[in-house]
Amino acid sequence: MPLYPRHIIEQVLNATDIVKLVSTYCELKPTGSDRYVSLCPFHTEKTPSFTVSKSRQIYYCFGCGKGGDAISFLKDIQNISFMDALEILADEAGIHLPKTSYSSKERSPEQNDKKTLFQIVELSVEFYRNQLTKSLNGKIAQEYLRKRNISPEIQEEFRLGFAPADGYSLYRFLKSKGFSERLLLRSGLIRSGGEEGRYYDFFRNRILFPIRNIEGKVISFGGREITGEGPKYINLPETEIYQKNKVLYGLWEGKETIRSYENVILVEGYIDVLRCFQSGIRNVVATCGTALTAGQANLMKRFAPKVIIVYDGDEAGLSASIRATSILLQAGLTVSAVTLPDGKDPDDFLQSNPVSEWEKRISSASTFFTFYLQQKQNLLSTPQGKITVLSELFRLISIMEENSIKEEFLKEIASALRISFWAVKSDYEQYLKNNYSLRSQTNNSHTESVPIDDIDFLHGLINDEQIKKRTKQLFQEIPMPATPLGVAMKYILENKDPDPRFMEECEGKKLLQKVLLSEPVNNDLKTLAMERLNRFHIEYINQQIGFIQQQIQEAEKRQQKERLMELLSNQKELITKRSQLSGVQIKNKR
């Protein structure tokens, strides 16, 4: 992960002319006012397919699929790290990197000494702890913790602290210990800014939660506001000693219990962890203010083979649990989930219920598949809803590697839905067949398999507000496809001026780069877009019809006449809808 803030990376990118940079390594030839082409420097080719956009400041090779911005180009062409590439470009652009940065041009034994950074953080823990327990400044924080019923013993075990409101106390304290501003800035705890370049504390008027690494050393903090001003939680930026994807809050404190129980309970917040520990539940961890990462999943796997998700009981919590389950399954972990009543989080639940009730729910935790079906029960009454739910579950099962385990979960789904295992298995196999080309496309090294019409559809989506409006309307009715095309569509819809330089690395990013560096083939993008949206709708209806057909066969076998009539009626409605959409498509083509 980059150690520089995003705005610094953007500053360097905006100050760099990618055409000038690439020209150092390639012979670029103009193909219009904005674009340049060359033989690709990353693979052997006879016809130039490497394209650079001056206005977009990105490149893309239509031959090998490699694309990116100035930093990624220099990184790959010189085979150096992201950090080194960023520093080289900053130096060439005359940008003085902030003192929070780790600059290779100014490295010294003192700067490279991580031991010093650990000392700074450890002294900060002691300072903040004293502010909470021994200073008048900490009275309001003590009162907040008292109202939240966080015991002094738990506060001590987790070394909770308080950052005073003045914004300079920690800086003065650390300076009095002899640390240089350069090292203080590198710790992330101190910042500088303003016309006078004054130094100030990162945290102000917040209760602080020290974050330990797996060795028990404090490496960072999370901060919770207590006055109703500002974001509820903020977290220290990543530093040389702190990478979010390698840390879990509560893991060091609870790792022996986790090993003993052979499972870990995953919750959302710092307070949830504290409440669990205070209740004697010590096999609990939380992510540090971010969504779960693959690194964190692998970290859990080192200590236990099973994860029990106990996220907040609202819709946002359910969405987060689905994302987490995908990552956990990919890491090879067994996943269960628990829902708490009335949308409560673990903190609320444990304050209003005996621990025995918590233990009862944990011991009877459903597999995530059963949990998800229970949460989506209201959708299972309609064919469309059932397809949506099963598609999500089939996607999760397809992530798993062991076929025997896949079959067990398919049986579980069949039992929960009260239909035969063979019907569910048949649906799953059909799902895999329908999504085979999509998986192949996702695993491909580049996006050449994307049809020209889809490329042109994205051109229209970027440049035409009517197309954008109609697309938003459609995908409020049906799910967005989980493909590179779907990822690119979602990013375009969410960003007025989509800039792939600031997208997460994925095939959807490469596809968007390809679109922005190509010209549309079709002249009538509006008509093409409306036809493509119809096809999206028809493809979705076809999935529904196929699913209902499976149910019809099952109903016939069981001689369920009422159920059969209902299914035939639903199927007829869908076929009528499909015919209407197909008629619109044919009419548009005339």
Residues 120-173 have pLDDT tens digits of 999 999 999 999 999 988 999 999 999 999 999 999 999 999 999 998 999 999
What's the confidence (pLDDT) of residue 547? 81
What's the confidence (pLDDT) of residue 546? 84
Report d(CA 562, CA 557) in Å as an integer.
13
What's the confidence (pLDDT) of residue 150? 97
Final residue of a structural domain among 213, 242, 271: 242
Quick: pLDDT tens for 189-209. 999 876 567 899 999 999 999
What's the confidence (pLDDT) of residue 437? 41
Is residue 542 domain-resident? no
Is residue 319 domain-resident? yes
Is residue 19 domain-resident? yes
Could you tell me the residue range of the domain that residue 82 belongs to? 6-105
- 222: which DSSP letter? E
Residues 198 and 166 in one domain: yes
CB of 358 within 8 A of CB of 515?
A: no
Residues 118 and 235 in one domain: yes
Quick: pLDDT tens for 452-464. 888 899 999 999 9
What's the confidence (pLDDT) of residue 583? 67
Q: What separation, in Å, do the N-terminal and C-terminal C-alpha atoms of the chain show?
A: 53
Final residue of a structural domain among 416, 443, 470: 443
Spatial CB neighbours of 79, under 8 Å, sequence gap ≥ 6 = none
| Residue 225 buriedness (CB in 10 A; 0-12 / 13-18 / 19+) | middle
Is residue 499 domain-resident? no
Tell me which long-range contacts 123-126 makes (C-beta under 8 A, separation of at least 24): 123/173, 123/174, 123/177, 124/170, 124/174, 124/187, 124/189, 124/221, 125/159, 125/161, 125/210, 125/218
Question: For the chain, what is the mean pLDDT?
Answer: 85
Which whole number is the average pLDDT over 392-405? 83
One-letter amino acid for residue 338 of the chain = V
Q: Is the pLDDT assigned to residue 316 strictly greater than 80? A: no
Q: Give the count of domains, the chain.
A: 4
What's the confidence (pLDDT) of residue 441? 40
Q: Which residue has the higher pLDDT, 375 or 192?
A: 192
Q: Is the pLDDT assigned to residue 419 strictly greater than 70? A: yes
Residues 175 and 197 in one domain: yes
Is residue 483 domain-resident? no
Q: Locate all alpha helices (DSSP H) within 310-464, ordered by sequence.
A: 315-330, 346-352, 355-363, 368-375, 383-399, 403-417, 421-443, 452-463
Residues 165 and 203 in one domain: yes
Q: Which residue has the higher pLDDT, 433 or 60?
A: 60
Q: Which residue carries 């006449």 as its tokens?
A: 561
Residues 183 and 260 in one domain: no
Q: For the domain that residue 323 is a member of, what is the CATH number?
A: 3.40.1360.10
Residues 224 and 281 in one domain: no
Final residue of a structural domain among 375, 409, 431: 375
Q: Which residue carries 């220099």 as its tokens?
A: 74
260-271 in b/e burial notation, b at 16+ Cβ within 10 A?
ebebbbbbbbbb
What's the confidence (pLDDT) of residue 247? 92
Is residue 454 domain-resident? no
Residues 307 and 385 in one domain: no
Residues 131 and 46 in one domain: no
Quick: pLDDT tens for 495-541. 888 888 877 777 888 889 888 888 888 888 998 989 889 888 888 88
Report d(CA 75, CA 461) in Å as an integer.
32
Residues 262 and 367 in one domain: yes
Is residue 120 domain-resident? yes
225: left (phi over 0), alpha (psi -120 to 50) or beta: beta
Q: Which residue carries 């699913």 as its tokens?
A: 547
Q: For the domain that residue 207 is a member of, what is the CATH number?
A: 3.90.980.10
**Maximum mean pLDDT: which of 270-279, 473-482, 580-589:** 270-279
Report d(CA 539, CA 111) in Å as an integer.
58
Q: For the domain that residue 50 is a member of, what is the CATH number?
A: 3.90.580.10
Provide the CB-side half-sphere exposure for 379 (13 A, CA): 14
Residues 204 and 264 in one domain: no
Q: In Å, how far are 130, 244, 437, 494 from 118, measured between CA atoms?
A: 18, 16, 49, 40
Which whole number is the average pLDDT over 350-358? 96
Of 64, 207, 69, the closest CA to residue 148 belongs to 207
Q: Is the pLDDT assigned to residue 20 strictly greater than 70? A: yes
Residue 495: how many other CB atoms lie within 10 Å: 13
Q: Is the pLDDT assigned to residue 550 strictly greater than 60? A: yes
- 249: which DSSP letter? B
β-pairing verdict for 206-212 and 218-225: antiparallel
Quick: pLDDT tens for 230-255. 889 999 988 888 988 889 999 999 98
Report d(CA 413, CA 392) in Å as an integer.
12
Is residue 471 domain-resident? no
pLDDT band at 480 (very low <50, low <70, confident <90, very high): confident
Quick: pLDDT tens for 296-310. 998 888 788 899 999
Report d(CA 204, CA 166) in Å as an integer.
7
What's the confidence (pLDDT) of residue 504? 72
Q: Is the pLDDT assigned to residue 224 strictly greater than 90? A: yes
Q: In Å, how far are 356, 450, 487, 504 from 496, measured between CA atoms?
A: 51, 23, 15, 17
Say what percent of the chain tops pLDDT 70: 92
Residues 216 and 295 in one domain: no
Residues 121 and 197 in one domain: yes
Say what percent of the chain tops pLDDT 90: 35
β-pairing verdict for 284-286 and 263-267: parallel
**pTM of the full structure:** 0.58
